[in-house]
Amino acid sequence: MTDLPDSSRPAPGSGDLAGRLAAWLEELGLADQLAAAGLPTYERDDAGTVHWTDPVTGEPLTDDRLAELDVLLRSEGDDPTHAVPIALVRLRREGRVRAALLDGGWVDYAEVGRLRGISENAARFALHKAAERRAVLLVQDEGRTLVPAFQLDEQGQVRAELVAVLEPLLASGTDPWRTWAWLATPAALLGGAIPHEAARDPEELPLVQHAAVRLAERARPASR
């Protein structure tokens, strides 16, 4: 039996498994998270055939690597048939949370300067000095510095009750986006309350501070 000519051989990563894996991810709504996770990605040609690509080499994914990817994505849970790729689910959630935070939830140096009645440059200097003291959360996004608005009062100053909440989180090296998300979304450690809102209540503030310390303690080993 002679080998098939090259033009007749199925391309690597374009067989039944390629299509089934892609369809599964699409059904879960997780296909868009592959690139963010550093995993192989795929495209469909005009005929609907799925072609997977290795993120490192840019070459078609081999059948062996495709099988490894399938096992990896189904490795969570006791039953691989009904497994869900938890890492991709987490990335999707983080992406949605980040989009919500960016939607009007921050101000820039100029706005802080306006609120404080000082120049933009003076506001920039003051904010960075405060960040060095771990007294304000600044978040970098595509070359710009964001000042999450929840932490500021009407005069553009950091809310006094939040300083002791911010300090352990910033000292631990917790990712700024994660810090922002935790402070501005319902937290399990607080029974579903939003930390920065709960902190306005003097009776709840110690609980928020304690929860922040616990979160910081969990993050610290990963930051070393």
- Quick check: 4 pLDDT over 70? no
User: Which spans in the chain are helix H?
Assistant: 16-28, 63-73, 86-102, 109-116, 120-132, 163-171, 176-184, 195-198, 205-223
Tell me the CA distances in angstroms from 155 to 111, 112, 145, one per residue in order.
Answer: 11, 8, 19
pLDDT of residue 216 exceeding 70, the answer is: yes
Check whether residue 76 and residue 141 sit in a common domain: no
The answer to the question of residue 216 being in a domain is yes
* Residue 126 and residue 219 in one domain: yes
Q: Please give the residue that has the higher pLDDT: either 42 or 81.
A: 42
Same domain, 109 and 217: yes
The reply to whether 3 falls in a domain is no
pLDDT digits (tens, 9 = 90+) for 141-197: 888 999 999 999 999 999 999 999 999 999 998 889 989 999 999 988 898 999 999
20 and 69 fall within a common domain: yes
In a domain? residue 208: yes
Domain range holding 40? 10-101
- Last residue of a domain, which of 101, 116, 137? 101
Domain count, the chain: 2
Residues making up the chain, counted from first to last: 224
Query: How many Cβ atoms sit within 10 Å of the Cβ of residue 18?
Result: 24
pLDDT in tens, 83-132: 667 777 776 777 777 787 888 899 999 999 999 999 999 999 999 999 99
Separation of alpha carbons 81 and 75, rounded Å: 10
d(CA 149, CA 15) in angstroms, rounded, equals 50
Q: Tell me: do 78 and 161 sit in the same domain.
A: no
- What single-letter amino acid sits at 119? S
Q: Is 25 inside any structural domain?
A: yes
Single pTM value for the model: 0.63
- Whether residues 122 and 58 share a domain: the answer is no
d(CA 221, CA 163): 23
**Residue at 147 is within a domain:** yes
- Do 163 and 82 share a structural domain? no
Say if residue 29 is in the same domain as residue 117: no
Question: Which percentage of the chain shows pLDDT scores above 90?
Answer: 49
